[in-house]
Each structure stands twice: as structure tokens, then as C-alpha cells.
Amino acid sequence: MAVKPALLTREVLPFALRLLALLLATLIVDAGLHLIDAVWVGRYLGIPGVLLIAASFGHSLRKRGVIHGGDPVFLLRLHEWLAWAGSLLVLVHAGIHFNAVLAWLAVGAMLVNIASGLTGKYLLRRAMTRLKQARAELKGEGLSEAEIKARLHRDSLTVDVVKQWRKVHLPISLVFGVLALAHIIAILVLWGWK
């Protein structure tokens, strides 16, 4: 079964391009630091990177009712961009200072978290778009709401299952957070403060 071009261009390609852009941006920033003999800056990029990632959680806080202000769509876009930028800084930081197992684990968890977030985003959007299109087609055929609901029952259940992706993404985010925090604490304790 061949992948439809629309699926490829609307769903798979943007996902792959975002990951590729993150990796390319990491290489460019790292190369730039080497070029201007400022590799030492990478040691400190983890701090603003973690702060950007932490700031990206406004969307999650709004969604869970912890905060009540802010447009959910804007907060989602802000979450995506702040997390991307923070991840870029953390990857540049890690690329320069990959000298401990804890750092490797934290970066690995961050990369899994990024992949999980992007996968969920595109899968959920695809499932919801498919359900909306099917509903419109059936409505166009003149079916009643009850008939449409009956015919799309399985598709609706599928969308509900895909929405549960967040229950997987949240623990992945938590693992990343714990490992990043452990790395930060280890740095604060072991850093040669002079």
C-alpha cells in the first residue's frame, strides 16, 4: 500500500523536517562556536536551554487548569518553539560536554521526548483531520447525525485512543525532567566553583 502524497507532504515531511532542522541548527551553532574560538560558550548554553524548555510548559499548565489566562493555540505554538529553541541550546551544550553518563541519559531522554511530542502532534492532527473529512463526506451524502455517528464510531474511538498519546508523552517528559535535574544538581555539586 503506497503512502498518499498528501499524507507524506502534510504529515511525514514536516515531522522529519523539524527534526532535521533541529540537528542541522545544532551543527551550525556548534560549528560557529568552534569557528570563532568560543567553544567555552557551549558549557553555559544548557542553562538558557533548560529555562526555555521550562518556559514552554505554559501550554501544559493552561491545559490542566493550573493557569487560566492565555490562548491555548498560542500557548501550544509557544510551547513548540520554546521547546525547540531550548532543545537546540541543550544539544549544543551536550555536544561540547558529553563527558558523563548522566548527561548522555538526559540528552537521550530529551531526544525521545522531542520525537514523542512531534509524533503525537502529527498523529493527532492526522486522525482528527481524517474524522472531520469523513463526517463532512457522510453529511454531504445526506445521512442523519445518528447514522453518521454510527458509521464513524470506530474512527471516533481511534481518535480517542490517539488522544491518549499524551499519557505516554507526559511520563517521557517527566523522565527527561528528572534526568536533567539530576544532571544540573550534579554540576552544581561537582563544578569547580572558584
The tens digit of pLDDT for each residue in 125-179 reads 777 888 888 888 888 888 888 888 887 777 777 777 777 777 787 888 888 888 8
User: Would you place residue 15 in the very low, low, confident or very high pLDDT band (cuts 50, 70, 90)?
Assistant: confident
d(CA 96, CA 43): 7
C-alpha cell at 17: 523536517
pLDDT in tens, 79-90: 888 988 998 998
Instruction: Name the 3-class secondary structure at 45.
Output: coil
Amino acid at position 72, single letter: P
Percent of the chain with pLDDT over 90: 7
**Residue 26: other Cβ atoms inside 10 A:** 19
C-alpha cell at position 192: 569547580
Q: What is the pLDDT of residue 5?
A: 52
The distance in angstroms from the start CA to the end CA of the chain is 63
Residue 10: predicted pLDDT: 64
Share of the chain above pLDDT 70, in %: 88
Number of CB atoms found within 10 A of residue 165's CB? 17
CB 16 within 8 A of CB 3: no
Predicted confidence at residue 1, as pLDDT, reads 45
